[in-house]
Amino acid sequence: MSRSNVTKFGRRAVLGFLLYGTASAAWANAPAASLRPVRKPGNAPKLAARGIDALISEAKLGGKVAFAVADARTGKILEAKNPLSSLPPASTAKAITTMFALEKLGSGKRFKTQLIATGPVQNGILAGDLVLKGGGDPTLSTDDLFNMAARLKQAGVREVRGKLRVWGGVGVIDSIDKSQPDHVGYNPAVAGLNLNFNRVYLEWKRTSNGYSVTMDGRSDKIRPGVGFARTTVADRKTPVFTYSGQGGRDNWSVARAALGRGGGRWLPVRRPEIYAGDVLQTVARSHGIKLPFPQKMTSTPRGTVLVEHSSADLRKVTRDMLRFSTNLTAEVVGMQASGKGNLRASAREMSSWLGARHGTKKAKFVDHSGLGDASQISPTEMCRALVGAGPNGQLRAILKPVAIRDNDNKVVQNSPIKVVAKTGTLNFVSALAGYMRTPDGRELVFAMFMADVPRRRALKVSEKENPRGSRSWNGRAKKLQGQLINRWAVVHGA
């Protein structure tokens, strides 16, 4: 089959679900006698595509729907609705963070974590302190620390006479967005030394005497227990979780009524440097190295580097961030790119860069992950940034492919429409921004922001993890996004 035939077949497949309703109506009262076929006008598919106002009305989202679709090479806006309205971008902000970090740090940037000796090593004994020094790696894992401890043993260390110290290089930011509930794992602390995306795993099991509760820094291979964090079970119904930083540790309390037979969940870490040192102490013990409980270091460590671990390069780090939408990664790489130690100041720096680099005037960010709903950008500005990044640029190459769905919201296998994009979801906020190729081969960029901000801001803190109506609202928003993509593939094809 020739390439042209493949293209035509693909286009017919796309039009099938767009025109289905029209065709059904036309045949409802078919004439008894055969009529002479009438040649359809060349723009018939475009005329049959459903209008944007009808699609938006059917979604019943409330709030505001704003979008823009543009030619990816020229930047010309082809269709828009409220294109200048600034709305929360949610996690589509990570696309801007990726562009910012890749330009400022370079795609080959790697983050280093070191074990430093402040004294000599003789006969297996380190006569000084051992320092776990962070270098801003947002992807450091328990398995990485386990391997670093093994290499420490290979370097001849069996015992540390001094202290185990931890150092991250910057001040710790307690959480990304203070308006979130205390216990949600996607809102952890941010530091220069991070572990497991700054989350600790809480697991509980029902016993004859109540509940057995454990906390660990697990990986796919091992589950080292931790001492810096603890959870107690309280005889109450609400709140489900409470948090205290008393005693320099993470202290959690969980309501007995919420535990059921057993289960587990990730909790955010508020003391990431101590957490990393705590896990290092445990995994080092498995290699025969006894370490004391970690203490924070306030000055830059000096000494001999015994072990060094390097992260993957920034291109892979940001690719994984875009695919799994890890908030911690976005905040760390954003702050590394800006050089600012304060999250708001770092976000302002990124906003200024976006304006200077891509001509945006109103876009502003309060973080690098999109978790804070005070961040705002318009569809036009997001499209301008995507055009500036280029239809064949680094960003497009690492964005996640998006499944194409028909008007019944079913996935279309082998769709001729190709989309790579970043999704964004908050309570009553849904966003999608990226690149698409129509069946004819035309390259487009688009940004869709749908938000019922008043409804979102009316939520109590206790309702924010899983508010009533949010899931169905989000489902309708995503369906609308798919319908708009299908429309653009027909109406704005080459």
pLDDT (tens digit, 9 = 90+) per residue, 261-286? 999 999 999 999 999 999 999 999 99
452-489 pLDDT, tens digit per residue, is 999 999 999 888 998 999 999 999 999 999 999 999 99
Contacts of residue 165, Cβ cutoff 8 Å, sequence gap at least 6? 129, 130, 131, 132, 277, 294, 295, 296, 297, 301
Q: Of how many residues is the chain composed?
A: 494
> Which residue is it, tokens 């291109």?
315
Q: Of 379, 396, 391, 494, whose CA–CA distance to 446 is shortest?
A: 379
Element (H, E) at 306: strand 304-310
Q: Report the CATH fold assignment for 112-310.
A: D-tyrosyl-trna(Tyr) Deacylase; Chain: A; (3.50.80)
Residue 407 banded pLDDT, cuts 50, 70, 90: confident
Q: For the domain bounded by 3-26+45-106+315-491, which CATH number is listed?
A: 3.40.710.10
For residue 369, pLDDT over 70 is answered with: yes
Q: Residue 74: what pLDDT?
A: 96
Cβ atoms of residues 158 and 124 within 8 Å: yes
Cβ atoms of residues 77 and 70 within 8 Å: yes
Domain ranges of the chain: 3-26+45-106+315-491, 112-310
Q: Of 372, 320, 327, whose CA–CA distance to 186 is shortest?
A: 327
For residue 68, pLDDT over 60 is answered with: yes
For residue 98, pLDDT over 70 is answered with: yes
Tokens of 354: 């976006």
DSSP-based three-state secondary structure for 324? helix
For residue 354, pLDDT over 70 is answered with: yes
> What is the distance, to the nearest Å, from the Cα of residue 29 to the centroid of all Cα atoms in its chain?
51
Hey, how many other C-beta atoms are within 10 angstroms of the C-beta on 27? 7
Q: Residue 76: what pLDDT?
A: 97
pTM summary value: 0.89
In CATH terms, are 3-26+45-106+315-491 and 112-310 the same topology? no
Q: How far, in Å, CA of 141 to CA of 145, rounded?
A: 7
Mean pLDDT (the chain, rounded): 91
Q: Of 318, 319, 483, whose CA–CA distance to 401 is shortest?
A: 319
Lowest model confidence (mean pLDDT) among 5-9, 97-101, 186-190, 372-376: 5-9
321-348 pLDDT, tens digit per residue, is 999 999 999 999 999 999 999 999 999 9
218-240 pLDDT, tens digit per residue, is 999 999 999 999 999 999 999 99
Residue type for 258, please? A
Cβ atoms of residues 187 and 327 within 8 Å: yes
Q: Residue 4: what pLDDT?
A: 40
Q: Residue 46: what pLDDT?
A: 60
Percent of the chain at pLDDT > 90 equals 85
Residue 169 banded pLDDT, cuts 50, 70, 90: confident
Residue 50 banded pLDDT, cuts 50, 70, 90: confident
